[in-house]
Amino acid sequence: MSQFSLSPEQRAYVERVRDVARTDLAHVPHVEGQVNRPLLREMGRLGLLRGLFGGGADESPRDAAAMQLCLLRETLAGVSTEAETALALQGLGSYPILQSGQDKVVDRWIPGVVTGEVVAGFALSEPAAGSDAAALTLRAERDGDGWLLFGEKTWISNAPEADVYSVFARTTPDARARGVTAFAVAGDAPGLSGEHIDLLAPHAIGRLVFDGVRVTADDVLGDVDAGFKVAMRTLDLFRPSVGAFAVGMAQAALDATVAWSTEREVHGAPLHQQQSVSHTLAEMATRVQASRLLVHAAAAAYDAGAAPAEVTRSAAMAKLFATESAQYVVDQAVQMHGARALQRGHLLEHLYREVRAPRIYEGASEVQRTIIGRSLVREHQERHPAGHKENS
């Protein structure tokens, strides 16, 4: 089996996820702009949340499997973007705890995350530190054997309703990435407040304010002043799966457009017989497939334990190309459907609103290009140190 083809077990997994999404999740009422707890609990009951961490129904979720996460997100996105987003936000918020938390912290939060009883949030971005995550200003002041957190976070998943947040705070001033520590912070901690943010695609995203929120040494995720590594390892896992989310939406738009091109008649002939339409469908399909291959390559690199630089670059390429391509595919789908695709409630009207955000969150496309470019230059300099010195 090549890294780009699915095994029989993986294909069976995809079919199972698609089936339960279409049946068991379909009856859960839709919720806009807030956490849909009944949906999360149902996803937990069905074992879908365990798939965030590579586990099956009866397995420990200790080891993450990037390929399974990508298959899960792509499949859900083709059926229910609400379920996909709920799953993704849950995974992003809880993975730092699973990855770097002490056993007592993992045991406190992760079982509830897997069942959907505990809602998790990822608190990295700040009003003045979005793409430049090393510029965090939320400060952690020493207080006996712990710290007090002061400051603000924004664009935070599942805020302000989450039961636990993975929070990144500055423990050493003026140290950039080397002075950030990750903490597990309970959602009902004294001094923590927040509000929802109303978005174009209404997801559970909000703002948090920390007014002397106390955390202890037990709450530290990883090592003190090494929280940036915790954040980057989380993003390296989830960035390819953002691409998978985009692929799922793009595939749904493509499928709908191919079907429409055979049903719609223009000048007495099916729409697809127009060469411009046929060529556009070909371009859409090629971009979807290329995106899927990049996503699978990035997931395979992560799961194979490739060098961190390779994992980071592959993840950036997958997220960049897949999200940009999905924007193109959905836009072309809307164009070919015409005004009907703009009607509230139409699949493409929904996808058009949903597809825009992934080009921004977890590192905007411009950030991904910077990561890729720097990686290429660094690799060249490492391979040709003498030539680099001569040209400098």
Report the 10 Å Cβ neighbour count for 286.
Answer: 11
Can you tell me whether residue 205 is helix, strand or coil?
Answer: strand
Q: How far apart are CA 208 and CA 134, in angstroms?
A: 19
Catalytic residue (choose from 362, 366, 379, 390): 362
Q: Is 362 a catalytic residue?
A: yes
- If phi > 0 it is left, if psi is from -120 to 50 it is alpha, else beta; for residue 54 that is left
Pairing of strands 139-143, 146-157: antiparallel
Structural element, H or E, at residue 149 = strand 146-157
| Of the candidates 122, 96, 133, 124, the residue with the CA atom closest to the CA atom of residue 230 | 96
Can you tell me whether residue 89 is helix, strand or coil?
Answer: helix
Residue 146 C-beta-side C-alpha neighbours within 13 Å: 13
Report the length, in residues, of the chain: 392
Given a contact cutoff of 8 angstroms between Cβ atoms, the answer to whether 181 and 224 are in contact is yes
Query: In Å, what is the CA distance from 33 to each residue of 1, 3, 200, 248?
Result: 42, 37, 10, 22
Mind telling me the catalytic residues?
A: 362
